[in-house]
Structures are given as C-alpha cells and as structure tokens.
Structure 1
Amino acid sequence: MARTAGFAAYKALTRRAARPQAAEAAPPRPRGVLIWIHCPLAARQKAAEQLANRLIAQDEGYTILLSFTEAGTQPLPDDPSLLHSTLPDDDSAAVTAFLDHWRPDLLIWMTGHLRPTLLNQARRQNVPMLLAEAEEDAFDEPRWGLRVTQSRRLLAGFHTVLASSANTARKLQRHGVEQALIEITGPLQEGGTALTCDDALRDDLAAGLAGRPIWLAAMVQLEELETVLDAHRRASRLAHRLLLVLVPARPEDADRMAEIMAREGWRALRWSRDDAPREETQVLLADGCDEMGLWYRLSPVTFMAGSLKRGMKGHDPYAPAALGSAILYGPFVSRHIASYARLSKAGAARMIRDSDGLQKALSRLIAPDQAATMAAAAWQVATDGAEATDRVIDWARAELDMAGTR
C-alpha cells in the first residue's frame, strides 16, 4: 500500500512540474525507421539538432522526431527528415495516443527531467531507450526524494545511461542505476559539421591573398551596411591592405550594396562577375550565402551580422566556429543566445554594439596571434562533445541492427 501511495505522489509531482501543452494535430508517421529524440531544455536544442542531423547524415533513411518540454525553443531547420511534436501530458491516455501514433523505433532522452508515465509505457512497448548527457541537476526535482525502488523502476527502462559528469554518475547510482549501465561521456556536441568548399579554389584564393589581413561580415542586412563599412574604413587606416569579404543576408540586396559602395568610392569587386581580388581591392562582395564554407576558411575573423539592430535575431555561430574563425556579434541574437553565451565564456566570441566597437575589435584581432587564440577556442567549443554524440549514434545503429530494422 505504501508503494502505491508513493507512486501516486511521484506521478502527481511530475504532473505539476510539466508545462501544459496545447493540443495539436500530428502529421502522419512516415514509413521506415523513426528515432525519437526528446530534449527537455531549450538551452540544449542545438545539441539535439546536431544529433538529429548526424543521424540523418547516416544515409539510412531515418526520420527524426524531436520533442521539447521547455518553452523558448526555436524553429527547426526545414528538413523533411526532421519532425517536431509537442510532448504529451504525462497521463496514460495522452501517452498511449502519442506512442501509438509515432511508434518510435528508438528513444534518446536528453539530460533528465523524466516523465514516469511516458517512459514506463515506452518500456512496456519495448522501445529501446538511452539517456544521453544526463545532468546532475536534472534529478533534483522533489520526486527524486522518494523511495529508491521507485526511481530504480523508472530508470530501469534505459538500456544505456550516458552521464555528463562523475557527480551525475554517482547520483544515478544512488537512484538505483547499475554502475555497468553508466558511461561518463560529457555533454553532446552543439556545433554543426564544418561546411564544405572547393579546396582547390580555396588554395588559389589564399595564395593570391597571402599576407593580406582578411575579415568577413556574414549575412549583412542593408540596415547594417553603414556600420560595417565605417568600421572597415577606420580599421584600414591601421592595416592598409585589410580586405573585407561582405556577404549579404539576401541575394537580392547585393545590387543595392554594390551601388552604395560605388557611390561612396569603395574599390569593390563582385565575386560572381569579376576576377579574383587584386591588391587594391578593399571589399569583395559575394552575391549570397552559397559559399560560406569558403569565406569562413579564408577569414580568421568573422562578424556575424543580422545582430546589430533591434528586432534582429542573429545567425548560428557554430558554422564559423567549426572552421576556426574568431567571432564578433551584435547584441540582438535571441535565436542563438545560448550558443553565443557559451562561445563568449570560452573566449571565442566577443559582442560589439556599434561601428566603434567593431572597429576596435577588428584592430585588435588583425594581429594574427590574437585572432588565432580566439579561433582555437571557437574550434574547441564547436567540436567539444563530438565523441559523446558518436557514442549515441553507435548505440542507435547497434540497436537497429539487433532489431533488424536497418
């Protein structure tokens, strides 16, 4: 009787902690293998997306279903292999309907903040489950103060538990997880895969620009152009051969930017129309974002635009970070705030607010050792956690092999 009452309290505490969900019509379940990734925390969305993209890149025809608990998540990339669903309330009817609809082949649950009814039902349906990057504070909720037998029953559904730290591993053992099931892997990777480029073209351009300091202003909106050009003009007084690679946020803005620069007397070339930059070239204007892998590789310093004016939301900083570029950014990056905060904490990114701040940052980072220090930190952050993500992918492939679904 005590056990029944305890479990009722356990479920009640979970329901109070859960965020109410609005009903929504789920799209049909696609054919083939469906891997469900649940990410309780908005701050870990990037890691969930990176894991999803890595699984999709296995070229096995996987569909990934992503769900979140916490408000604040951002729109997902437009990819037909990447679906999103609201997590159901933790009651039997909603959970059963959710699982019957999606019929996941695997469940990868991130961090913790577990849902007892959902996970127990998934176990009864024999869904293989892995707990990834388990975090110590994800098991600090009041329900974890209940009996070890109840927490053990809940955690027993996970075939493998990947802990983010040794402290987390010890806490999970206190909650009844067998030591043999726990691996300490750290958090999953947040940074994306490095963008590709034409290596021969990159080598030719690098050879032609040898000795010239280069910086990149990426995804620049028209409202930011004046700030970027003013900072470039003033920074060029200290580094006369400084070259700006300018990439508009919208290809249709390239003509307008070219007109503005011609009127102001800039010696600018259009990447799509002219030859390679010459010694006197001050600005190289790209026509769109198709060759960002090339520009990130060429530029030791990248200003991530779309971030200087109120109402802007910023762009993913892990793209330049993965290619070892120091990062500057404006204050309006709400879409990627957690990523910029992590890079800034590591010394890989620096916020600027205006033309003066951008010019001063550029003048410091023109020195190769300064840019190299930030770039190395950026690469470290972008690649940190790759082994943990690899471990999850290996687990998923092994489980699907055993089930004969690959």
Structure 2
Amino acid sequence: MNRTLYTFLFHLGLPFIALRLWLRARKAPAYAQRIGERFAFGLPAMQRGGIWVHAVSVGESIAAAPMIRALLTRYPQLPVTITCMTPTGSERIQSMFANEPRVQHCYLPYDFPWAASRFLDHVQPKIGVIMETELWPNHIHQCAKRGIPTVLANARLSERSARGYARFARLTRPMLAEMSLIASQTQVEAQRFLDLGARAESVVVTGSIKFDLTIDPQLLERAEQQREAWGLVQRPVWIAASTHAGEDEVVLSAHRDVLQSHPDALLIVVPRHPERFGSVFELTRQQGFSSVRRSTGDPVTQATSVLVGDTMGELLFLYALADIAFVGGSLVPNGGHNLLEPAALDKPVLSGPHLFNFLEIAAMLRGAGALEEASDSAALAASVKRLIEHPEAAKAMADAGLAVMKANQGALQKLLNGIGSLLH
C-alpha cells in the first residue's frame, strides 16, 4: 500500500471516523466539541513561524513538557504550538502551560493531505517535533514538501509495531525517509527504524527523556502536609495508578487481602481515563470499601480504605502520597505505563507482566532490583504486604530505582541539540 492508496482508504473511512467520534462522545462529551479542528477548520488564531510539537494524549504531553519548557527558554523569540488527539491531552496541555503566552494549542487534524496542508499553512512552523510513535504519512509528507524538518522525539518502536509497519513497506519506507531526525530511546529500536527504511544519518540513539524527569520539592512538601492533615503518617499507603478496565477488580481484591493483615492500609486507585472515574468509584462502593473521591474535596478519614484519584494533573502528587506504587496498564495486555514517575519519587515500583511498551526501562529497573511484577491479585497483595512489613526492603527498591533514573539522564540535552541543529 502506497500513500495514494492509504489516502483513498482514509477518505473511505470518514463515516467510521464520525461514528467513532460519536461513540466516544457518549462516554466523554468533550469529543463532541471542537470537531472542526480535527479537519483543520475553525483553527484558533495563532502566532506563526515557531515550533510545532505533537503529543497524542496525556502521557506524551507529560513526557514532552520538560522538552517544551527547555525550547521556550532556548528560543525566546519563537511560539510553540502543541497539538494532541484527545480531550484529556488537550486539558493537560492547557493546564500545564496556562501561564505561558507563547504556547498555543489545537487538535491535530486527521491525516488527510488537504487537512495537513491547511494546518501547516495556518501554523507555518519552522520545525515539527512528534513525540514517540505517532507517525502520520500525509502530515510528514506535507512537511517535507514545504521544507519543514520533522523530528521523532523520544522515539520508541516495539517489535510488534515494527512488524505492523513492515507489512506496509511502500507506505512506511518513504515516510521514514522523509524524516529529518529520529531520536531513538534504544539501539534496538534505532535498528528497527533503519530496517523499516529510515536514513542512517537521521537516526540517533539519545535514550529516553523520561529519565530526565525532575521533581519539584514543593510537590513533596505538599504531599507531606496532606498526609499529616489526613492522619496518614503512620498508615501504610499504596497506589494503583493508570488502571485500565479489568485491572480495578484485581487491585481491589489485592487490597482486600492487604487489609486482612493491615486493616489501616489505604489504597489510592487512579483510573487512566476520566470516563471511568465514576464507574471505578461505584465499583469500590459495590465491593464494600469505604471510599472517597479526590474531586469532591472530602477528607480521607481513619475509616477510609480507598481514595479514588479522579482529578486531572495530580498523578505525581498522588504518587508522592503513597509508600508503594503499582503502575497499571500492565495486568491487561496494554503494554504498561511510565514506570519512571514513581521511581523518580523514590518509591518501590510494582507492575503486572504486560510491559511491552517499556521493555528496556522495565529490564533496567528489574535488573537493579527496583521493580517487581505480579500477574494476579494474590501476587500483588503478597508484594504490597512484604514491602509494608519490611520497610528496609522497600527503601532498597526505591533507592535502586532512583539510581537508575540518575544514571540514565541526559537524553533531553541530546534531543535539544538535535532539534537545534535543524532550526534555522
């Protein structure tokens, strides 16, 4: 399949795109808003000639934030346009950069040539920086036609994804060949990009910029004050973060087991997607847990056994409240989520077995003794109980994770240097 056929099929899929938006809007009404932007109509007024950064959703937006702040400092004369594809990503971008007048935001239009063309004519960026693996052939081609260099930042490519791209070599090879810089997280992934058709001179290994996460000391102080206010100083607290459908039941079963030995334990459960906040809270109530929702502002009391983290932009704060961190998306075959956020906060890290999106990082943490994997509720409960009962083991795990973080920092600087070499 070449780009012409891809574009033809994409147009044929328009009714399915509309149906998907409608179905998503039933669960998350924000999907019914700003639809014009998804086709490059009604784009907000923008400063032109700056840096365009695309971060598909929340996770990529968070990962991109340190890079964006560094770019704003390095290039004080340039605006930064940040695009995404999801309402949650949009909300996070707007909250993170609310006080930065040079940051502007809209949805990235779908990958139709005419929509990509209208978007680029509207923004007229000097460079495009795409986070991780969000590759759109027509957007990349329209950039190449205009002489706009494109960067794939913090690039990752699993073996499974590489096989998928390889099936469409006539589409993939020209697309990757048009990219100016592919800043790969690992040598293995760099080789996958080369095998798929990327130019050797455009592929560099920088490492993951997620290692360059820095924690604001004020966040730690705020978390400590909150623990004191809620009477949690002596209570064991564990968090299950970024959970997906099918995981909450496993986590709650594990917590029930933990409560048998530690009846004062508190679980903080944070669903990955906002449309699940209400259903997860109801699930905790149905299962007989005394629960509160973070969004209501109700205090955690001695009777509370589950806190549902149903707010946006507070994940690091909620991690900081906990003693032990379980990272979701890993008990179900979703590929896992960012293991480095709790590691950066000096927490022992637990996960499920499905970590194919973070194989290299998981291997590093596992090898250092900073990560334990559990495949079911019994194993998860056993790990949590062991770490509660052996604080010295928990501290050793946490310190090992922090050491891995510090030993692998520097990717952001390499990425910024690569972007700088293309800006002219």
TM-score normalised by structure 1 residue count: 0.56
Decide whether aligned partners of structure 1 residues 230 and 143 sit closer, same or farther in structure 2, where only a CA change above 3 A counts.
closer
Pairs within 5 Å for 1:205-216: 205=227, 213-216=236-239
For 2:124, the equivalent position in structure 1 comes to 103
Conserved? CA contact 1:202–1:294, under 8 Å? no
For 1:326, the equivalent position in structure 2 comes to 348
User: Tell me, which stretches of 5 or more residues in structure 1 are unaligned?
Assistant: 1-11, 68-72, 264-269
Q: Distance in 2 between matches of 1:296 and 1:129?
A: 34
For 1:186, the equivalent position in structure 2 comes to 207
Which amino acid in 1 is paired with 2:40?
Answer: A
Conserved? CA contact 1:88–1:98, under 8 Å? no
Out of 89, 97, 104, the residue aligned to residue 76 of structure 1 is: 89
Conserved? CA contact 1:132–1:163, under 8 Å? yes
Query: Are 2:106 and 1:88 equivalent residues in the alignment?
Result: no
Q: Distance in 1 between matches of 2:198 and 2:309?
A: 54
Report how far residue 392 of structure 1 moved: 3.2
Q: Distance in 1 between matches of 2:346 and 2:209?
A: 20
Report how far residue 46 of structure 1 moved: 7.3
Provide Cα deviations, 1:349-380, integer angstroms capped at 9, x if missing partner. Answer: 524533x3333222232323543454456557
Out of 404, 410, 417, the residue aligned to residue 387 of structure 1 is: 410
For 1:49, the equivalent position in structure 2 comes to 61
Decide whether aligned partners of structure 1 residues 127 and 213 sit closer, same or farther in structure 2, where only a CA change above 3 A counts.
same
Conserved? CA contact 2:183–2:204, under 8 Å? yes
Report how far residue 202 of structure 1 moved: 1.3
Query: Are 2:377 and 1:365 equivalent residues in the alignment?
Result: no
Out of 244, 249, 253, the residue aligned to residue 227 of structure 1 is: 253
Decide whether aligned partners of structure 1 residues 142 and 229 sit closer, same or farther in structure 2, where only a CA change above 3 A counts.
closer
For 1:28, the equivalent position in structure 2 comes to 42
Conserved? CA contact 2:183–2:205, under 8 Å? yes
Provide Cα deviations, 1:274-320, integer angstroms capped at 9, x if missing partner. Answer: 8xx8xxx5856657556654542343313457998x9x999876543
RMSD across aligned C-alpha pairs, in angstroms? 5.9
Q: Distance in 2 between matches of 1:320 and 1:392?
A: 23
For 1:299, the equivalent position in structure 2 comes to 322
Give SS of 2:108's match: strand
Decide whether aligned partners of structure 1 residues 289 and 376 sit closer, same or farther in structure 2, where only a CA change above 3 A counts.
farther
Larger Cα Rg: Structure 1 or Structure 2?
1
Decide whether aligned partners of structure 1 residues 302 and 131 sit closer, same or farther in structure 2, where only a CA change above 3 A counts.
closer
Give SS of 1:325's match: coil
Report how far residue 106 of structure 1 moved: 1.5
Report how far residue 209 of structure 1 moved: 6.9
Q: Distance in 1 between matches of 2:266 and 2:146?
A: 57
User: Tell me, which stretches of 5 or more residues in structure 2 are unaligned?
Assistant: 15-37, 73-77, 95-104, 272-276
Conserved? CA contact 2:52–2:125, under 8 Å? yes
Q: Distance in 1 between matches of 2:328 and 2:268?
A: 10
Which amino acid in 1 is paired with 2:347?
Answer: S
Q: Distance in 2 between matches of 1:217 and 1:151?
A: 38
Give SS of 1:364's match: helix
Decide whether aligned partners of structure 1 residues 87 and 371 sit closer, same or farther in structure 2, where only a CA change above 3 A counts.
farther
Report how far residue 127 of structure 1 moved: 1.8
Provide Cα deviations, 1:240-288, integer angstroms capped at 9, x if missing partner. Answer: 8x6425467659959x96x95679xxxxxx99558xx8xxx58566575
Which amino acid in 1 is paired with 2:61?
Answer: E
Q: Distance in 2 between matches of 1:135 and 1:223?
A: 31
Report how far residue 381 of structure 1 moved: 7.4
Decide whether aligned partners of structure 1 residues 227 and 74 sit closer, same or farther in structure 2, where only a CA change above 3 A counts.
farther
Decide whether aligned partners of structure 1 residues 245 and 380 sit closer, same or farther in structure 2, where only a CA change above 3 A counts.
same
Report how far residue 85 of structure 1 moved: 2.6
Report how far residue 19 of structure 1 moved: 9.5
Q: Distance in 2 between matches of 1:189 and 1:370?
A: 25
Conserved? CA contact 1:36–1:64, under 8 Å? yes
Conserved? CA contact 2:336–2:357, under 8 Å? no
Report how far residue 185 of structure 1 moved: 1.4
Give SS of 1:65's match: strand
Decide whether aligned partners of structure 1 residues 227 and 340 sit closer, same or farther in structure 2, where only a CA change above 3 A counts.
farther
Q: Distance in 2 between matches of 1:223 and 1:95?
A: 42
Decide whether aligned partners of structure 1 residues 88 and 144 sit closer, same or farther in structure 2, where only a CA change above 3 A counts.
closer
Conserved? CA contact 2:53–2:82, under 8 Å? yes
Give SS of 2:125's match: coil
Q: Distance in 2 between matches of 1:381 and 1:28?
A: 46
Out of 197, 204, 207, the residue aligned to residue 219 of structure 2 is: 197
Give SS of 1:302's match: strand
Pairs within 5 Å for 1:127-276: 127-132=148-153, 142=169, 154=177, 158=180, 160=181, 162-164=183-185, 168=190, 183-189=204-210, 194=215, 197=219, 199=221, 202=224, 205=227, 213-216=236-239, 227=253, 229-236=255-262, 243-246=265-268, 273=299
Decide whether aligned partners of structure 1 residues 187 and 384 sit closer, same or farther in structure 2, where only a CA change above 3 A counts.
farther
How many residue pairs are counted as aligned between the two chains?
347
Decide whether aligned partners of structure 1 residues 123 and 300 sit closer, same or farther in structure 2, where only a CA change above 3 A counts.
same
Q: Distance in 1 between matches of 2:9 and 2:127?
A: 25
Decide whether aligned partners of structure 1 residues 271 and 390 sit closer, same or farther in structure 2, where only a CA change above 3 A counts.
same
Decide whether aligned partners of structure 1 residues 15 and 351 sit closer, same or farther in structure 2, where only a CA change above 3 A counts.
farther
